[in-house]
Amino acid sequence: TQLLEQSPQFLSIQEGENLTVYCNSSSVFSSLQWYRQEPGEGPVLLVTVVTGGEVKKLKRLTFQFGDARKDSSLHITAAQPGDTGLYLCAGSTGNQFYFGTGTSLTVIP
């Protein structure tokens, strides 16, 4: 079983603060995705990273894939209430995606 651990599990911050969410594994992945899920909805793909050390930016969100392709981080700058949701990472072995344990983020206005 490919286990992806996310930390922290829960995060509550004030609007305007910065935060980082981590996704760690002992396994190597060919690619890694980040999703955001709102209550009662399906997850929505934010980004896919495929190269060790790769950094992708999506407005205020910065995603990084670890050099060894075993871990990833998501950094949000100046968080807004609209960023509230469950953030999920998912690693691909080429045959299947394995989802992380999730980070529930609440941004307080």
Partner 1 sequence: SQTIHQWPATLVQPVGSPLSLECTVEGTSNPNLYWYRQAAGRGLQLLFYSVGIGQISSEVPQNLSASRPQDRQFILSSKKLLLSDSGFYLCACEGWGNMDYGYTFGSGTRLTVV
Please report how close the Cβ of residue 104 comes to partner 1 at its closest, in angstroms.
6
CA distance 49 to 72: 9
- Options 12-20, 65-73, 74-82, 92-100: segment touching partner 1 (CB under 8 A): 92-100
Please report how close the Cβ of residue 34 comes to partner 1 at its closest, in angstroms.
9
Phi first, then psi, for residue 20 (nearest 5°) are -135, 135
Query: Which CB, 16 or 106, lies closer to partner 1?
Result: 106
CB 87 within 8 A of CB 19: no
Restricting to residues 40-59, name those near partner 1 by CB under 8 A: 40-48, 58
Binding stretches for partner 1 (CB under 8 A): 4, 6, 31, 33, 35, 40-48, 58, 86, 88, 90, 96-97, 99-102, 104
